[in-house]
Amino acid sequence: MSVGSVILRVALLLGIGAGLGSILGSIFTGDWIYTIVWAVGIPVVLTVAGVLGSRRRRQGVLTAPGRVPGIIGSTRVQPVPTEAVLNPEPTAVPATGATLNGEPLDPAVLAKMPEPRPRGTVPLWSRALAIILVLVGGALVLIPAYRTIGWTVTNIAQGRWDGNDMRTGLHQQEAIDDLAAVIGSYDFVAVNFYDSYVLVEAPTSVGATTTDTYQWRYGRAGREGPYSGVVNGLFDASRIDFSIVADLVARSKADTGWSDFTGFYPSVRANDEGEPEILVSLSNDYYSASYTYTIQGDLIEKYGTGLD
């Protein structure tokens, strides 16, 4: 096998691993990038594999079984001659007790003759290497999602199927920390939590008089774009333990007495005195309500329709 063929085979196996890893990534994270990778990559890999397979079949040597004298029905793969050869060298292997060119053949010599490996058999080490390359390809493509996948596994172990939900789950604080790292500080104007993402309004840069929108989604935080030309209601988000958000949502839902909800969204904003407050807005087909809490979780007020 040529060096080029080896490189192509390695790349193909890594590609297969990347495709399988992308499927897992899309399942565990919901990231559309992984969906695009496997949707495009797998057909490409299969096409390349098919082309390579057809080339190998065309390049294969036509063979026919050769019989060993004295052993009925035994076969050994031998190349079919492509041209006539005068006085060819004898290739037959006689059975025990037979003679070759008039001389008896030693049975011990015959016993030591190795059996040829059937054409097309893949060595065990080659299979193991192929599996390793597939696993490496999958591991590499999943590197950006390791933390989110870890969250999912932990959530399932705890029986929290909503663990990655940014309204009711377990990882709001991690998302806020990621956003603060991108923004450059914990000085926020507003925070809004949704099922799979978090939006923050914050100064464009530290000390700026304009604000931008920043988003955390699929385990990544980044700047979305400009929001306002005025910084109004700035607060220090480092004072808040955002893991309290899920508990306040649960308390608010229980307090309404409603049996179902079409929407519920927690958010954080500063009041007129500049103190941050946590708001939980809820609604269903008939009613809507809003709850306001201190950052310590104490209820300040509630209002709306359909409340007990």
HSE value, Cβ hemisphere, 13 Å, CA-based, for 252: 33
CA dist., res. 301 & res. 303, Å (int): 7
Query: Residue 123 pairs with which residues in a beta bridge?
Result: none
Please write the tens of the pLDDT for every residue from 223-280: 999 999 999 999 999 999 999 999 999 999 999 999 999 999 999 999 999 999 999 9
Q: What is the DSSP letter of 21?
A: H
Q: What distance in Å separates the CA atoms of residue 210 and residue 230, rounded to the nearest whole number?
A: 5
pTM for this entry: 0.67
**Residues 277, 299: Cα–Cα separation, whole Å:** 10
Query: How high is the pLDDT of residue 127?
Result: 85
- Contact at 8 Å (CB) between 171 and 193? no
* More confident call, 105 vs 15: 15
Neighbours of 190 (CB within 10 A): 20
Q: Taking each helix axis from N to C terminus, what angle separates 32-59 and 3-29, rounded to the nearest 10 degrees?
A: 150
Helix (H) or strand (E) holding 36: helix 32-59
What digits encode the pLDDT tens for the residues 119-148? 556 788 888 888 888 888 888 887 877 888
Specify whether the backbone of 282 is left (phi greater than 0), alpha (psi in -120 to 50) or beta: beta
* Token pair of 274 as six digits: 């500049």
Other beta carbons within 10 angstroms of residue 158's beta carbon come to 10
In tens, the pLDDT along 47-74 reads 877 776 676 666 554 444 444 454 444 4
Query: Could you tell me the residue ranges of all domains in the chain?
Result: 3-54+123-147, 172-304
Q: What is the dihedral of CA 238, 244, 249, 254, to 10 degrees?
A: -150
